[in-house]
Structures are given as structure tokens and as C-alpha cells.
Chains A and B, each alone.
Chain A
Amino acid sequence: MPDADHLNYDARIIQQAIEGDKQAFGQLYETYAGQIFKYLFFRMSTHEAAEDMMEIVFLKAWEALPAFGKRTNQTNFRAWLYRIAHNALIDFRRTKKDEVSLEVIENIKSKSEKPEKVAERKEESAILLKAIQMLDEVSQHVLVSRFIGEMNHRETAQMLGLSEGHVRVIQYRALKKLREFLGEENE
């Protein structure tokens, strides 16, 4: 959890970015790019697609920044940024109809030339990515935000405009489906 000093620092930088300071926005990028990249990677399954989408997400964030904090319950910049990433992904998929092929994941598997354990881990990750892609958008968002973005239910619920209870149910169903997709082994 970020401490008060950190929050104050963030708030100052955000305000400067709202006022048009691009360098301040660059600092926000430095702070959040890693997290947003992870999120996008797990939603899109390739480095290249996630990198491209990063640019779109941060450009959209810049455009939407003046509206940040105007809603009474909207004070969490990270959650707000995740929401922008989620919306950008949905827009992208609407227009591109999922150009990101799952074959790319297969390639990740086959190209892996690292030591055995790393290869095994890569393979597991590839299978997980493939399974995540089979879930609907909202379920993907909930699981990736929760377990990769380490967000709590309140943040996730705020992002989606749903109640925490509803998000829990989505998570419950999504974990169950994911288990089915991942197969019966290991248990």
C-alpha cells in the first residue's frame, strides 16, 4: 500500500500533468508503466501487442486526465489507469477482432531455449495466457487486475462500475472456468 507521502507526491504530479506538464506525465509513466505493461501482457499475450497498446493507453490517459478525480469515488489513479487500459483493449478488439493469434503463444513455447525449469515455467505461463484469452473481457479484467495488478475488490469494482459482491461472483466463475480450461492435471 502506498504511504501518505507517496500519495501526496502522486497527487502533485497528477495535478501538474492535468495542467499540461508533459514531463510530469512522463514521471507518471515511469511509475505505472511496468504495472500497466504486465496487465496488458496478460490480456494480450504477446510483448509486442502489449508494448503497442501501452502507447495507446498512456495517450488516452493524457486526453482523459483533466476529468480524473471529478467523480467523488474516483481518487485512485492506478485503478483509473487500469480502467483506461481495459477500455482501450475493448475498443481495440472491437476494431481488430482479435488479431492477436494464440499461435504466437505456441511460438513462445517452442522458441524457449532456456534451462529446463525456465522452459517449464514459460510453458505453464503460455498455457495460462491461452486460457485467459478464452475468458470473456470482464472476467479477464477481474482476474488480471486482482492477481497480476494486485488490486483489491473495491478498486476492481470501482473500475467496472459494479458492486464488490458482483466482482466476487465474476471472480468465482472466472476461476472455475479457468480451471476447466487449464485441464484436469495436477489435482
Chain B
Amino acid sequence: MNERRKAQLIDECLDAVIEGMYSESDCFMRYPEIQQELLDAFYSFRQFHSAETPQLSTEKMRRIKKNILFNLPDRDMVVTKPSGLRYRWQNTKRRFAMTWVIIVTTILSLLSGAGAVYASNDALPGEFLYPVKTWVEDVQLVLSPDDVDVELSGIFASRRIEELLALIEEGDLEDLDELVDGYHNRTELMTQLIAQIKARNPEEAIRLRLDLETKLQEHALIIETLIDDEPAEDELPLQDRLRVMLQTNMQTRLRINEEEVEVPEESDELNVDDSAEVESSEEEAGGDQEKNQYQNQNQNKVVYSSDEYLENGSLFFQFKFADSLEDDVYGEVDGTLYDCSVDGSMVTCGLTGSAGKGILRLYNLRTHELLYSYDYDHDYEYLWGGTKEGGNENQERGETDHGDRDQEGGMDGKDK
């Protein structure tokens, strides 16, 4: 019996015992094959059940409530209608950076005329003055020290979200690519700056990172809200771009939270090429793996990469790490999370319903650290055609190995 099935049976038993439908003995009789697991589960569960439950005294409840209500900031904006999402972002106008805005806009106004600069504040991608808007941002970044740049990069990324909402509201989806690139640039800058600051002043980096994390979480919430599970056909391009933005957001959050971030060299370039962290792992896997896979240098290496196979109509990917994994793992493709099971050094992820090709990333479930990323391309026809119900599963897995794909050249040379 596999682990998932055992987990399900134990859970059913626990629920039935909690609800008084079964006794523990009923469960043992019903599922004798997992008697030991049931014993362990019931024992642990009983400890919770009999644990002394803490209570807050009325006085403490009141004191905490008073503190909380006293510290609640006022809400400037009321969000009561769907289109209000856009206005919510107006609250994220920065305080600190405002000084710089005044300085820079004054200089620019003197040089190029005040009208253009001020008018560009509300410009959206595709509009004549939008390049002025992003140029002003760039100038602010060049003029500010690194710690201010971190805050600015967060503010500018938030602007891209404001613009996204505005474009959607106006039904103008033609210039989304520019916006998606802009969001990517600003978040990449965050990663780069945090890494640089971390090398100099780790405590300051933590403070800045926490602020960014809050902003990025808000972005993710809004993007997730906009992603429709079942979009209409004409909405597909928008949905694709939203998923890219969500992926960028998740990637940035993971990177800024990594304990050890590779410190990039100082550069005036605002756009960061992330190809540095993409490496070929062909040699590590005896030439059997695809190029452009990310392998976390601090982690257990993947020695045997994805073997995709079908089992009972579901699609699975398997990875073998050099050493046993202590934590659970989950997978992510285009912002969608997938279950993975860990058995020693072997990780199996169910990807049923995922896109035909994409990048599967494996993360540590406890620390959310990126462990491995993998460019995949299902050969659906082969997989479905090659499956034999009730046949030798291992043999089927072996048959879908990379040899076939290498011949087709299906996965080589993709950019991350």
C-alpha cells in the first residue's frame, strides 16, 4: 500500500473517531494492514486531545485588543467594488521616495519642460509618454543609494501592477508585454540589490527584504485574483501573461529569501540577465540531462533527472537526488503548485493537467528553497501510446527516458 493511501485511511479513521462513528478498535479491525501506523497516529492524536488548552484571561484579551486597535492605521481608501483594486494601489505611493521624485522632476522639468514629466505620471504602456515615465524611474534609481533603490524597485513594481489593473479596466491588452517585461526588470533589480546589500549589511538586508516580501505578497494576491481558472478563449493571452507575472513574483520571493544569494558584480545596468544561475548539468548526469537546468549549489544534487510516466491515467515525473531528502518537496509550473512525494532520495511529482511543456521547479516544502528546475516537454502521443495497463511499470518508465527526446532534440537549448 502506498503512502498516500495509508495517509488517506488514517485520516478517515481519525475523522470517524473524532466524530464518534468508530472506536479506535473499529479502525484496527477494519484496516489490520496498517495497524502500526494507526497506533502511532492515535497515540499522537490523543496527546493533542488531552493537552491542556491555554486560555487568555479576559483582562489580557482586553489589553491586547486595546493595543491592536490603538495601532491600527486608518484606511485611506475603501475597496468596495471590483474596479477598486486599481485604487488600492494608489495607497502604496511611497513616502521616502517622494523627496527624490520632487528633486528629479524639478531637474527634468527645467531641462525638458515640466508638462511632459508630470503628464507622464499617469501614462500607461503603449502611450506616448510612457517611456518618459519609466525613464524618470530609471533616473531616480541611478541617483539613489542602494537601500533607497530597494524601496524604489518595490514601488516601481507596484506601479506595474497599478498599470496592469488600469489596462485591464480599459480593455487595452495590446501592450501587456511591455508591462510584463517592466515588472520583470524591477523585480530582478530587487534580487540584485538585496544580494549586494546582504554582502555588506545582512541586518539591513533582512529589514528591506521583509518590506519587499510584503509588497510582493500583495502583488501575488492581486495577480492571483485576476487569473481566472477557466478563461474565455479571447482572454487566454492575458491569462498567459498574468501567469508569467505570477511566476516572476514567486521566483523573486524565493530568491530574496534564499539564505545564500550569489552576489552579482556591481553594474549600472538595470536589467539583469539571470542566465548566470542557469547551468548545464549534462556532465553531472552523465550527459543524460537537458541543458539550462537550475541546480541549487548548496543542495543535494539531482543525479537522475525526470523520467515521466503514466500510471492509472495520471502523469508523473521522477527525480533522483544524490542523497536522501529530509524535507518534503513540491513542484511548480507556471504558478500552479503540484504535489510531490519523497521516498528517500527519490522525488515523484504528479503533473496531471499541466501544460504540455514548460519549466517544472522543485521546492523544499519547509523552506521554499528552489532545489531544481527542469525544462520538460511531454511527448503525449508517446506516453499514452506506450502505456500498458497493468504492465511492468518500471519498464514503461525506462522506455520514456531521455534517449528518445535527445534524438528529437526536443528539450535542448531552451532558455530559462
| B75 and A124 contact, CB distance less than 8 A | no
| B43 and A125 contact, CB distance less than 8 A | no
| A175 and B10 contact, CB distance less than 8 A | yes
User: B110 near A: Cβ within 8 Å?
Assistant: no
| A172 and B71 contact, CB distance less than 8 A | no
User: B148 near A: Cβ within 8 Å?
Assistant: no
In chain A, positions 22-64 with a C-beta closer than 8 Å to chain B are 22, 25-26, 29-30, 33-34, 37-38, 41-42, 47, 50-51, 54-55, 58-59, 62-64
B52-76 interface code vs A (CB 8 A; 1 in, 0 out): 1111100011001101110111110
B313 to chain A, nearest CB (A): 16
Number of interface residues of A (CB under 8 A): 67
Number of interface residues of B (CB under 8 A): 60
A122 to chain B, nearest CB (A): 6
| A162 and B339 contact, CB distance less than 8 A | yes
Q: How far, in angstroms, from A94 to B258 measured CA to CA in the complex?
A: 11
Tell me which of A18, A136, A162, A179 contacts B366 (CB under 8 A). Answer: A136
In chain A, positions 157-187 with a C-beta closer than 8 Å to chain B are 161-163, 165-166, 168-173, 175-176, 178-179, 182, 186-187
User: B25 near A: Cβ within 8 Å?
Assistant: no
User: B263 near A: Cβ within 8 Å?
Assistant: no
In chain A, positions 83-108 with a C-beta closer than 8 Å to chain B are 91, 94-95
With A70-B222, A147-B49 given, is the CB distance from A169 to B4 under 8 Å? yes
Tell me which of A54, A55, A118 contacts B71 (CB under 8 A). Answer: A55
With A124-B50, A136-B327, A182-B43 given, is the CB distance from A22 to B72 under 8 Å? yes
- Chain A residues near B8: list those with CB within 8 A: 165, 168
| A161 and B54 contact, CB distance less than 8 A | no
- Chain B residues near A70: list those with CB within 8 A: 85, 221-222, 225
User: B11 near A: Cβ within 8 Å?
Assistant: yes
| A34 and B56 contact, CB distance less than 8 A | yes
With A66-B79, A95-B206 given, is the CB distance from A171 to B7 under 8 Å? yes
- Chain A residues near B48: list those with CB within 8 A: 128, 143, 147-148
- Chain A residues near B6: list those with CB within 8 A: 172
Q: How far, in angstroms, from A72 to B53 measured CA to CA in the complex?
A: 34
User: B51 near A: Cβ within 8 Å?
Assistant: yes
In chain B, positions 21-50 with a C-beta closer than 8 Å to chain A are 37, 39-41, 43-45, 47-50
| A37 and B210 contact, CB distance less than 8 A | no
| A29 and B330 contact, CB distance less than 8 A | no
With A33-B56, A34-B56 given, is the CB distance from A59 to B44 under 8 Å? no
- Chain B residues near A176: list those with CB within 8 A: 37, 40-41, 44
CB-CB nearest in chain A for B328: A170
- Chain A residues near B65: list those with CB within 8 A: 26, 29-30, 33
- Chain A residues near B366: list those with CB within 8 A: 136-138
- Chain B residues near A171: list those with CB within 8 A: 7, 10-11
A169 to chain B, nearest CB (A): 5
| A175 and B41 contact, CB distance less than 8 A | yes
| A59 and B210 contact, CB distance less than 8 A | no
With A37-B56, A41-B54, A62-B72 given, is the CB distance from A162 to B221 under 8 Å? no
| A186 and B80 contact, CB distance less than 8 A | no
B407 to chain A, nearest CB (A): 35
User: A4 near B: Cβ within 8 Å?
Assistant: no
A60 to chain B, nearest CB (A): 9
| A175 and B337 contact, CB distance less than 8 A | no
Report, nearest first, the 7 A-B pairs whose CB atoms are least far apart.
Answer: A20-B75, A172-B7, A147-B48, A179-B40, A70-B225, A168-B7, A178-B44
Using CB atoms and an 8 Å cutoff, list the residues of chain A in contact with chain B. Answer: 15, 18-20, 22, 25-26, 29-30, 33-34, 37-38, 41-42, 47, 50-51, 54-55, 58-59, 62-64, 66-67, 70-72, 91, 94-95, 118, 121-122, 124-125, 127-129, 131, 136-138, 143, 147-148, 153, 161-163, 165-166, 168-173, 175-176, 178-179, 182, 186-187
7 contacts between A and B (CB under 8 A): A50-B54, A70-B85, A153-B11, A162-B339, A173-B328, A175-B45, A176-B40
Using CB atoms and an 8 Å cutoff, list the residues of chain B in contact with chain A. Answer: 3-4, 6-8, 10-11, 37, 39-41, 43-45, 47-56, 60-61, 64-65, 67-69, 71-75, 77-80, 85, 88, 206, 210, 213, 218, 221-222, 224-225, 229, 257, 327-328, 330, 337, 339, 341, 365-366
Given contacts A20-B75, A66-B88, A168-B11, 5 further A-B contacts (CB under 8 A): A25-B69, A38-B54, A70-B221, A72-B229, A147-B48
